[in-house]
Structure 1
Amino acid sequence: MTVTSGHAAPQSRRAWIIVGMMVLFMLINFADKSVIGLAAGPIIKDLHLTNEQFGQIGSAFFLLFSISAASVGFLVNRVSTRSVLAGMALIWAMSQLPILAFPSLAVLLGSRIALGAGEGPAFPVALHAIYKWFPDDRRAFPTSFVSIGGPLGIGLAAPLLTWIILTYSWHAAFGFLGAVGFVWVALWLIIGKEGPLDARHVEAGGAGLEHVPYSMLLTSRTFIGVTLAGFAAYWAVTLAVVWLPSFLVKAGGYSPTATGWIVMLPPMLQACLSPTLGYMSQRLLARGVSSRISRGVLTCCCVMLAGVAMMLLSKSTGELVQIPLVMVAFAVGSVTYALGPPLIGEISPVHQRGAMLGICNGTFTLAGLIAPWLMGHIVDVGVNPAQGFRDGFMFAGLLIVAGGALAMIIINPKDDLRRFARREAVTAAEGVPAVQV
């Protein structure tokens, strides 16, 4: 991006203000997600649910989540991210309020489905917004900050939401989050602005390619690998959101108040780890290390480490062992959300980037449709709830390790870009115009 020196500093400040708003955006997003897990005990008791039924409520959140993520991804290729982000946050806030007034199973289910539809595109749209402010070689660091907004939403909100649940009621916590959402919308309408990088800037993505057929983009090694790593890591994310508090109470023997504080530890670790590794990745890239290594291998190693920690957690006893394993299992794998999206941005022409980020997000978050229900089922059929949780975490750990290992083998942006360039050269030689969507 070429700018005059007189405008560089203000533009840089504005870019980081937008990053800050996206961090808050994702913080609210994950606080909305996590409240269901923090309120699991009272909800199961008040609504007379089995563990599997509660798991189905957790999975219901993802019923329209993936469809929405992919659909809105195409929308932001043509519509300003400023207006789309405001509309999404407004849906979040409005979907929480009915639970405050009518705390029933039907209303809770409807609210979570609507919330999932509104929150599905959150991460890819937030990244598409900041990628309009940062060229490809400077994206890993700001992406890492946006990616920690989610865990901060769990970590910072957990003690506060637990206090609201214990002091007032579980439905009061939902109402509180609705109010917070309205405040963010008001601030965004004042502060939000579109970035200057667009399709005229070849450094914005896609190595200067004008258009690549979606059939090639979606079957590329990098897209498949990033999606696999994201799916594996998101399995852990959804288990943390829906079931980690219950595991700590029923299998770990912790009190609800202690659980609220323990739940905030993985996000605190991720808040340190993601920017650190994002900056490290960016420095490695600047020194000539390939993107496959500096982004792909680094993120896949983190995913596999999280899976190993989760398997060890399933066999652990005692807080001196359990708490560190909880931190590693539910924090380290999420580094993929700092380093994976820049890989998608790297191979995607800029006018297709929003859709590609949305499709990737919509695909890997399908883990959220399966993991909460499956864990609830395993807990119900287990010898006892504690053993059921341990069996569920062992299965999850194996799945996460496998996903990270396969992704490491597959990801190769340089190979993908060479293939895309060859296809574009052939198309140009034949005089076939590119069809842009």
Structure 2
Amino acid sequence: MDTHIPRLSLGRRHGYAHACYRRIQRGPASRIILGLGEGPAGALLTSGIYSWHPKEKRGFPSAVATGMPSMAKIALAPLLALIIASFGWRSAFGLLAVMTVIWIALWIPLWKNGPYTGARASQDVGSPAPTVPLRKILLTKTFISGSVAMFATFSIISAMITFLPTYFQRGVCSEQQTAGTLLGVVGVISLMTALPLGYFTDKLISSGHSSRALRGILPSITLILGGMGFVGLNSLPAPGWSVALYAVSFAHINLASPLLTSGISEICPPSQASSVLGIYMGIQYVGGLITPTAIGYVVDAQSNPAIGWGYGLAVLGVMAIIGGVCSLTMFNPSRDAALFIQIEQNTVQE
């Protein structure tokens, strides 16, 4: 019996490897791999940024981190459009991959944890930093209401990232080039409002003002106002007014994200920031999975695209209002943080 197993030639092995690569490139596997890496990245980067800032000064860093996608759209969209037109869409993804590799090569040797982490605190005192049972953190009114509000916020952001150019073209009757310009304008407005608000709320909290008011009530009101604007979009007579109201409403909704996230960071010990923020952001990512598909069905159910988009935006507006009301009535990081500080002190004394 011949037990010899023939080896593949170098050319055939290269062919199989190339075929596998093409399947990953064209199929859903590349999207899945991207999602596996992108999922935990937000929580880890946010907790890393927070490690360099005390709890009362995290609103502005949150606004910067939240605003960078808008900045990237403004800065890279023209370049990527040129590359796609000249070399195809795969070249654009290749450029982004190269940029990511360069960023990783710089991040690994240069990054280190800041002074506001559990690990650094443990080194300073010579003993493990105290922790709170994770279940107690997740069952606080602050975490629950913040998760509901951010579920609505991220649902709206995801839906608009997916459908905003289409909405401007079909719902507002704009040309493709005009729709692209409007998309950039909305990004600029969102960025230019979030950064000053994050800076001034940090200043006020550092001077003794209430975290409940600035990171609970304020973002809740902006979320409710933005939701009301979305609901009212369908009743405006002129497309120009619709674009203006949409830009203002979307900017209001975007303001909620950095303030609520910095509020969530207040209620957990530094050593548990990554796990708490990971769960918190995981809940909001669920909205990004569900909502764009649901809004697509709402729009497609109408024969007139403009009416369909009116209904779809109204649904998003109602979600924002519900999330804003939840956080307005229950979000109080100072209250829950004080409770956990007492638990930590009791643990240290024991």
Judge same fold: TM > 0.5, yes or no: yes
Partner of 2:312: 392
C-alpha contact 2:115 2:121 (8 A) present in aligned 1: no
Amino acid at match of 2:163: W
Question: Can you list the C-alpha shifts for 1:68-102, whole angstroms capped at 9, x where unaligned?
Answer: xxxxxxxxxxxxxxxxxxxxxxxxxxxxxx9xx95
Report the number of matched residues: 326
Partner of 2:30: 111
Partner of 1:71: none
1:137 aligns with 2:56: yes
CA distance in 1, matches of 2:230, 2:23: 34
Partner of 2:292: 372
Partner of 1:265: 185
CA distance in 1, matches of 2:307, 2:49: 44
Identity of aligned residues (%): 30
- SS of structure 2 residue aligned to 1:274: helix
1:253 aligns with 2:164: no
- SS of structure 1 residue aligned to 2:73: helix
Partner of 1:175: 94
- Structure 1 residue 243: deviation in Å? 0.7
CA distance in 2, matches of 1:331, 1:311: 15
C-alpha contact 2:130 2:347 (8 A) present in aligned 1: no
**Bigger shift: residues 166-175 or 287-296:** 166-175
After superposition, the Cα gap between the structure-2 partners of 1:258 and 1:173, relative to the gap in structure 1 and judged at 3 Å, is farther
Partner of 2:201: 281
- Structure 1 residue 213: deviation in Å? 0.8
1:184 aligns with 2:99: no
C-alpha contact 2:266 2:334 (8 A) present in aligned 1: no
Question: Can you list the C-alpha shifts for 1:286-311, whole angstroms capped at 9, x where unaligned?
Answer: 23221100111111112112212222
Name which one, 1 or 2, has greater alpha-carbon Rg.
2
C-alpha contact 2:231 2:318 (8 A) present in aligned 1: yes
1:148 aligns with 2:67: yes
Question: Can you list the C-alpha shifts for 1:6-25, whole angstroms capped at 9, x where unaligned?
Answer: xxxxxxxxxxxxxxxxxxxx
1:302 aligns with 2:218: no
CA distance in 2, matches of 1:189, 1:253: 47
After superposition, the Cα gap between the structure-2 partners of 1:115 and 1:330, relative to the gap in structure 1 and judged at 3 Å, is farther
1:194 aligns with 2:113: yes
C-alpha contact 1:232 1:303 (8 A) present in aligned 2: no
After superposition, the Cα gap between the structure-2 partners of 1:318 and 1:180, relative to the gap in structure 1 and judged at 3 Å, is farther
Of residues 352, 359, 366, the one that matches 2:272 is 352
Question: Can you list the C-alpha shifts for 1:34-91, whole angstroms capped at 9, x where unaligned?
Answer: xxxxxxxxxxxxxxxxxxxxxxxxxxxxxxxxxxxxxxxxxxxxxxxxxxxxxxxxxx
- Structure 1 residue 201: deviation in Å? 4.1
- Structure 1 residue 401: deviation in Å? 1.1
- Structure 1 residue 240: deviation in Å? 1.6
C-alpha contact 1:159 1:257 (8 A) present in aligned 2: no
After superposition, the Cα gap between the structure-2 partners of 1:384 and 1:112, relative to the gap in structure 1 and judged at 3 Å, is farther
CA distance in 2, matches of 1:294, 1:309: 22
**Bigger shift: residues 283-292 or 362-371:** 283-292
CA distance in 1, matches of 2:346, 2:108: 45
After superposition, the Cα gap between the structure-2 partners of 1:415 and 1:114, relative to the gap in structure 1 and judged at 3 Å, is same
Partner of 2:39: 120
C-alpha contact 2:146 2:260 (8 A) present in aligned 1: yes
- SS of structure 2 residue aligned to 1:177: helix
- Structure 1 residue 187: deviation in Å? 3.3
CA distance in 2, matches of 1:386, 1:169: 32
C-alpha contact 1:159 1:261 (8 A) present in aligned 2: no
Question: Can you list the C-alpha shifts for 1:350-382, whole angstroms capped at 9, x where unaligned?
Answer: 111111111101111211011111111112221
Structure 2 unaligned segments of length 5 or more: list them: 1-17, 123-128
- Structure 1 residue 136: deviation in Å? 1.5
1:238 aligns with 2:158: yes
- SS of structure 1 residue aligned to 2:28: helix
What TM-score do you get using the length of structure 1 for normalisation?
A: 0.68
